[in-house]
Amino acid sequence: MSSRRHRKRKLKAEINVVPYIDVMLVLLIIFMVTAPLLNLGVDIELPQSNARPVEQKQEPVVISMNSKGELWLKLEGEENEATTLDNLVLKVGAFVRNNKDVPVYVAADNDVAYQKVYDVLTALQTRANVPRAGLMSQPTGNVKK
């Protein structure tokens, strides 16, 4: 028998990056699909008014109501978040207890039923102990379409 020649194979010191690229592409697709779903603002059409703009010493709490009557809450330094009336009362009540002089405004779409706006204002005063809540409006002539 002839003696076999044993060759030492050189080891390749490579990292297979294909699985990493696959994962990155999947993450890219996920982010591209979910990015449009993030609602950074609430699309509302405020009623017109001749009222003067109010000077703000601190950022107000803004409760937005779109034309469907859905509630959105924007607290100081946070983004708008969809909420329910009960959750809104809890969060605004806790925030106002810690920040007594913070202004609270309701920005309701022009098409929202008056009763829904009234219900929110009543809940803010009776359940969240907000001493004063204002209504936001669009200055006359600056209507957004």
Domains and CATH numbers, the chain: 48-139 (3.30.420.270)
Q: Quick check: 145 pLDDT over 50?
A: no
- Three-class secondary structure of residue 135 per DSSP: strand
The confidence score (pLDDT) of residue 87 equals 94
The confidence score (pLDDT) of residue 20 equals 92
Taken in order 52, 53, 58, 64, the sign of the CA dihedral is positive
DSSP 131: S
Residue 126 to residue 89: CA distance in whole angstroms: 9
Q: Label residue 3 by pLDDT band (50, 70, 90).
A: low
Residue 67 to residue 44: CA distance in whole angstroms: 7
Q: How far is CA 31 from CA 17, 40, 78, in A?
A: 21, 16, 21
How open is the CA angle 95-97-101, to the nearest 5 degrees? 85
For the stretch 106-142, pLDDT in tens is: 998 888 888 899 899 999 999 999 988 888 877 776 5
For the stretch 48-93, pLDDT in tens is: 777 666 666 788 899 999 888 899 999 887 888 899 999 999 999 9
Q: Quick check: 143 pLDDT over 70?
A: no
* pTM (two decimals): 0.62
For the stretch 36-52, pLDDT in tens is: 776 556 666 667 777 66
